[in-house]
Structure 1
Amino acid sequence: MTIRTAVIGFGTAGRVFHAPLVAAEPRFALSAVVTSSPERAAVVAAEYPGTVVLSSTDELFDRAEEFDLVVIGSPNETHAPLALRAIEAGLHVVIDKPIAVTAAESRQVVEAAAAAGVKLTVFQNRRWDGDFKTLQAVLEKGELGEVRQFETSFEWWSPKVTERWKDTATPQSGGGMLYDLGPHLIDQAIQLFGPVEEIHAELDARRPGAFNDDDSFMTMRHTSGVRTRMWMSAISPAPRPRFRVVGSQGVFVSEGLDPQEPQSIAGRRPGSEGFGRHDDGRTATISTPEGERAVELQAGEYLAFYRLLGDALTDSASLPIDPADSITALELIERAVRG
């Protein structure tokens, strides 16, 4: 079975993440891309010559019978309306996180998919970051002892407000760092340490002209007793460690963001030599009172999401991401915004 796939949007989500991954998984066909930009349409034609370019979502849904799956990589406020249209057309759906701007909208989308008998999942690709996979393996082996603190950051240097929708969208329509990065960091924390009882957030707009949070902090206390602290910033001249995990017997530290996104931007593709591994050969470290040792970082593998999705669509296996997990993260974000 070939899963005929249409990707809505060819910005960062569609161009850097979804299109290359769909094209790389043998059971999927990148049948169409929806973009109204002539420049982006030209890129699609050059990189994926067998792919149809559609100028609007109306055109896509008018031809719904030609597709099996819709991938929604457009701005956050469009996620729920487009997902509901796809569900009504009988198409399976992948939504780039978050599912919607609110948890209530997200539940509406999930309920509609269940009622229609279509599959719906969320692209929480950071579960397949190499450093996250490495940390999971370290924790499963108990190498840190009892974990007490989990520090996680996602920071870069972009001191001026841009024209990208993530900068210009209002908080009510899903703009800002918390809605951009929070779904990833919260999801990773819950995957590692379980449900959350308490949260606190500090959301600041630092850049001139900014009306969304661009320098944010959030802390959560898990039922397990672990305290998670998260930093999300567009104005950090130098980033914190990506992960710092403090246990009763050792401390795990990894530096730098997963390389798959910059590799994809540079034109490298899943399956090519070294894809998903840092070119500089960096390692994580575990430090104990006895000293420090290097930990080899596993290769990141976002393609695993589409491999698991292919299993779900062709063999009735479990979806790669349960949408309920993404709704839980949105509920925590809403609690943080309310204060």
Structure 2
Amino acid sequence: MTIRTAIIGFGTAGRVFHAPFVAADPHYALSAVVTRDEGRRAEAVARYPSARVLPDVDALLTLAADEDSFVVLRHDSGVHSYLWMNGLAAQVGPRFHVLGSRGAYTKYGLDPQLDPQEAALKAGAAPTDPSFGGEPEPAWRLLGIDGAARPVPTLAGSYAQFYARLADALLSGGPLPVDPREAVRVIELVERIHQRSVVQCGPAARPTA
């Protein structure tokens, strides 16, 4: 698997250290260089003609984004996850839709409705506030079956746990709150999905008699 790589910043570190080694190592593909400086953009184009040279990070994220994606994951437990993403949809679908044989749980809403911590922090709340991370009752979602579903409270989030666990890892040798190996596995999974995805285009099938 080739590791597609973007270098953000083409000053001394990006131009002298990172880019030459990334370009020379066959395990990597230098896919993009980001720099606001026009002169450095011209230099990057001349040195790495196969790379996309972009003026800012927003352009990089737009380049990397998929407008419409659907992925099915089969977990070791036997559970299947269906992941949809569409940046062009006129209506927002449910963020979580968990289906079981005896009931379902459905929750709508994008951030900050999905996780009210961000909205609370922007409004000036502190993580030590008693109600921090909680969600108001109108935002609760339904659990059950059609005709017999009931609203259930959303468990309060806790970004603070990340920092507490990081402190434990640094001071006491505990496990990291996020294992870097898990992040690598996610990147590998995304890369495999991109490599195996097939877009089929052609004339519409005609109905048969």
Counterparts of 1:113-262 in structure 2, within 5 Å, are 165=57, 167-169=58-60, 175-176=61-62, 212-256=65-109, 257-262=114-119
| Partner of residue 314, structure 1 | 171
1:77 offset after TM fit, Å? 4.5
Aligned to 2:23: none
Greater share of helix: 1
TM-score by length of 1: 0.38
| CA separation of 1:236 and 1:262: change in aligned 2, threshold 3 A | farther
The 2-side partners of 1:338 and 1:328 are apart by 15
1:282 equivalent in structure 2: 139
Q: Distance in 1 between matches of 2:127 and 2:167?
A: 16
CA distance, structure 2, for counterparts of residue 258 and residue 308 of structure 1: 20
Tell whether 2:181 aligns with 1:324: yes
Q: Which has the larger radius of gyration?
A: 2
Secondary structure of 2:118's aligned partner = helix
SS at match of 2:149: strand
Contact 2:117/2:133 (<8 A) preserved = yes
Equivalent position SS for 2:170: helix
For 1:253, what is the secondary structure of its paired residue?
strand
Matches within 5 A, 1:39-118: 77=7
Unaligned runs of 5+ in 2: 1-5, 18-26, 29-54, 197-209
Structure 1 unaligned regions, length at least 5:
1-75, 86-103, 106-162, 170-174, 177-209
Structure 2 SS opposite 1:291? coil
**RMSD (Å), alpha carbons:** 3.0
What's the TM-score once normalised by structure 2's chain length?
Answer: 0.58
Q: CA deviation at 1:216?
A: 2.7
CA-to-aligned-CA distance 1:71-120 (integer Å, 9 cap, x gap): xxxxx745xx89xx9xxxxxxxxxxxxxxxxxx78xxxxxxxxxxxxxxx
Whether the 8 Å contact between 2:142 and 2:152 is mirrored in structure 1 is yes
* Alpha-carbon offset, residue 317 of structure 1: 1.2
- Give the length in aligned residue pairs: 146
Cα distance change, pair 236–277 in 1 and its aligned pair in 2 (3 A): farther
Higher RCO (CA 8 Å, separation ≥ 6 residues): 1
SS at match of 2:182: helix
**Over residues 294-337 of structure 1, what are the superposed CA-to-partner deviations in whole Å (9 max), with x where a residue is unaligned?**
22111111111111001111111111111111111111100111
